[in-house]
Structure 1
């Protein structure tokens, strides 16, 4: 639960009450701070501001006027990983020709236009989304059906490849198993013949006869 109070110094104090065990408490506190800033912020001359306890125009170097009651809200005593530097982008103040990647994004957010030769990360994907949502419902449906058919086809091919792989693996294992059985039987037979040959020799049977019976030369 969030609560905001005004103290005797005219400062706004944000209170975040957590009475149950849960994750991301600091992130939620950060959200409350950011939301309060947007509620109390005043107008400036620039369209891009960067700062921590104060905001300076990146281009015009003017200081963005934040209500004095609100300045103490941006505190630096909490985890720097959760509370980094702030960048405020005011899309409605941007009226320049986009040059930098950030300005291209601002131009897109304000006017919905993207340069055909843009190299700005993410805007190529945004252009594809614009094309998709600018289609008629009929064209969009046909496009979705085409993608669905391609995915089904790819799924069938992948399934066939997997089945073929599993069948080959099963056949290979069965073949190796049979070879193992045959090898085991041959080794067992050889050991039995050797034992029999030794017993016959102990009984005084002629060695040539033992060789003819067991195939083993002692």
Structure 2
């Protein structure tokens, strides 16, 4: 048995910023990063800004852990061709914002960029991607490693431990078969459901705190509006795709008519009805 819960991105905006609910986000981060995360505080981020329609196409939350690391969690619903670049910009901005003037560069905090996307970002069949940056010798093919002093001073084993870590969760690629606790989280992110058999950290709290019936009347109105906005946007996008497909079919049909194809063949090639093809033929005449 599973229970339908409110969406994670809306909860990021309204619920997960409260200290009483930190355990949900701590659980997700712990399962993804494979070490226990304790949240010290939620910092100001772009998603705190209310827009006129409150659509939540994109929402982010910035976490400071008790180990003084910064973790930027972002949910993106709409396709963006330059999303990789925005990931880079977001992390670069954090690097510069959270080092005080005059401080040594070694005080820059470790940054994790976690991106949950509901569109086809890049080409890849997996649903969880981790960026592991290393410096590889062009000639010797060796991996550049820190000196002993750097290892001791910065408490790292690899140069990549110093640099930001990027994670991408392509939620729509997930096949809904949860084979481990991280999969259980991805299942929840995709379906807004937590099965009774799930054991992942934080999901028990999500199942308790993120029930629709637990929202206040005002929160229910806001969430209903959010869901309606999403439905309208999906419908508009779907309609636009159909119209674009129809236009392409018409152009192909016109070309085929010019080349002397019969109406039955054109209809089969384009998906148009024979009547539509005949109308195009008549308009041409």
Answer yes or no: same fold by TM over 0.5: no
Point out the structure with the larger strand share: 2
Point out the structure with the larger helix share: 1
Greater relative contact order structure (CA < 8 Å, 6+ sep): 2
Q: Which has the larger radius of gyration?
A: 1
